[in-house]
Chains A and B, each alone.
Chain A
Amino acid sequence: SQTIHQWPATLVQPVGSPLSLECTVEGTSNPNLYWYRQAAGRGLQLLFYSVGIGQISSEVPQNLSASRPQDRQFILSSKKLLLSDSGFYLCAWSVQSGTVEQYFGPGTRLTVT
């Protein structure tokens, strides 16, 4: 069966510090991968998606970036965090063959102070 991991689970970072969140998927090959942010009262916002290694598409311009160095690894980064980057970050995966179901990881709660 497929499993998706995210770490860290929680993170408190000062404004201006760098960020690196990691997501890995087990039990499937060549998945589509997604990063979402869930802020209080704002719902789930798609940040990035990837259909393959090194292929990243950005949905929202901001100071975040994403990379996919391996087939089942997706990384969310920032060089300098803003207060507005606080939120619950969720990684999700889907099968590449045109299916609609997306499966979410446990999330990382980021607080920027």
Chain B
Amino acid sequence: QKEVEQDPGPLSVPEGAIVSLNCTYSNSAFQYFMWYRQYSRKGPELLMYTYSSGNKEDGRFTAQVDKSSKYISLFIRDSQPSDSATYLCAMSAFHSGAGSYQLTFGKGTKLSVIP
């Protein structure tokens, strides 16, 4: 079983729809849960992150973490064509050997928002 599983899609929705993106994981040591957005042929951009279980909202974006189920979600409200991108989930645990947090990424879900 891979540490982080993410459905690659593609996911196509009409403009204005609510989008739900999800990841599951197996490593209980993960403490931080992050979402990156990556436009085609660009580097990933950090959208938001949460610590442990709970919800976090930033504008049209809401991140949810359920550690008991090892399941995280990103919701996008009132989706726009500019939201069309690949969304990567990432999870972090402290790497004592490195003395820093290391990220483990999902493969990404490709989202298209159709005008």
Contact = CB atoms under 8 A, between A and B. Distances in A.
Interface of A: 32, 41-44, 46, 49, 51, 57, 88, 90, 94, 96, 98-107, 109
A112 B22 CA distance: 34
B103 A43 contact: no
Contacts, number: 57
Contact of B43 (A42, A49, A90): A90
B98 interface: yes
Contact of A49 (B46, B88, B102): B102
Interface string B73-115: 0000000000000001010101001111111011110000000
B104 to A, nearest CB: 8
Nearest to B103: A102
B102 A46 contact: yes
Interface of B: 8, 32, 34, 36, 41-46, 49, 88, 90, 92, 94, 97-103, 105-108
B110 to A, nearest CB: 11
A49 B101 contact: no
Given A44-B44, A94-B101, A100-B92, 20 more contacts: A32-B100, A41-B107, A42-B107, A44-B88, A44-B90, A46-B102, A46-B103, A49-B102, A57-B98, A96-B100, A98-B100, A98-B101, A99-B101, A100-B101, A101-B46, A101-B49, A102-B46, A103-B46, A104-B43, A107-B41
A104 B105 contact: no
Contacts of A94: 100-101
Contacts of A98: 94, 100-101
Given A103-B46, A106-B43, A109-B41, A51 B99 contact: yes
Contact of B106 (A43, A46, A90, A99): A43
11 contacts: A41-B8, A44-B90, A46-B103, A49-B100, A96-B100, A98-B94, A100-B103, A101-B46, A104-B36, A104-B45, A107-B43
